[in-house]
A and B are shown apart, each in its own frame.
Chain A
Amino acid sequence: MTTQHILFIIFGAVTLGAALMVVTRRNVYQAALFLTLSLFGVAGLYVLLEAPLLAAVQLLTYVGGIAPLIILAVVFTQGRKHPVDSPDNHAGYNHQWWIAALAAIALCSVLVWVTLSYDWGTAPGPVSEHSIAILLSTLIAPEGFALSFAVTVVLLLVSLTGAVTITGKQ
């Protein structure tokens, strides 16, 4: 058991454990906080996979942007209080929760079976030490991914304009 294995088990346990807490908490505010913890775990996995730029982007956008956005939405709409008990409120789940659980377990078993029954090849090669420079220069190069970069910029502009329009004064 090398250090990598131990770190992978720690980060994987944090990610999956926090994700299970997200699903099972009835209080949506607590679920949003557990989602933040799960995103921290995913950032740790990116560091293990030798993608440091993606780990930083994950921390900046998800943990620093999307998770606070979700927490703000929870606080502005229903607050931090515990949900009110009602006769049809099966611990925060809707009426078809058991079909959803069945479908999720079936999908997971199919994915795991396909993953484990395929021979993924031998050991991977090393990552270049200029991987961040190569990545960013490919991202903005005209013969690289400049077009998709520009399209995502336009997508962000349009979606944020739409979000502001949806919640603006009627």
Chain B
Amino acid sequence: MIPLEWILVLAAALFCIGAYSTLARRNGIAMLMGIELMLNAVNINLVAFWRYLEPNAASGQVFALSVYTVAVAETAVGLALMITIWRTRNTLSMDDMDLLHG
């Protein structure tokens, strides 16, 4: 059996890679890809805790399915926003989105 710590460390590393991609990339779609990586890391954590701590309860996997649904919803809206930004501003660089700057 794989120790639980291995899976949790892998999920933590994946989460931090996704956080870096969200915070440090200029392209808006690259930011959204970082968010997808973070959601996958959270899902790995949920399924690992379900398997190792409560394999007979269904709530762990149900939580993971709810995370999937929310991820699909926010990815659809986020990509719609990116396409609209491209159409109006002709750039996807988040550094140029400075309408709200003081």
Contact = CB atoms under 8 A, between A and B. Distances in A.
A93 B77 contact: no
Given A66-B75, A94-B95, A57 B68 contact: yes
Contacts, number: 233
Contact of B20 (A39, A65, A100, A156): A100
B93 to A, nearest CB: 8
A93 B13 CA distance: 20
A17 B51 CA distance: 25
A74 B55 CA distance: 40
B80 A166 contact: yes
Interface residue range, chain A? 35 or more
Interface residues of B, number: 69
Given A46-B44, A167-B80, 13 more contacts: A5-B2, A42-B44, A62-B40, A76-B83, A76-B86, A92-B27, A96-B23, A97-B24, A111-B15, A112-B13, A121-B53, A145-B59, A155-B70
26 contacts: A8-B2, A15-B14, A16-B14, A16-B17, A19-B37, A22-B17, A32-B29, A32-B33, A45-B10, A46-B44, A51-B50, A54-B43, A62-B36, A96-B24, A100-B20, A101-B20, A101-B24, A103-B23, A108-B16, A111-B16, A115-B8, A115-B12, A120-B5, A135-B62, A144-B62, A160-B73
Interface of B: 1-2, 4-10, 12-21, 23-27, 29-30, 32-34, 36-37, 40, 43-44, 47-48, 50-53, 55-56, 58-59, 61-62, 64-66, 68-77, 79-84, 86, 92, 94-95
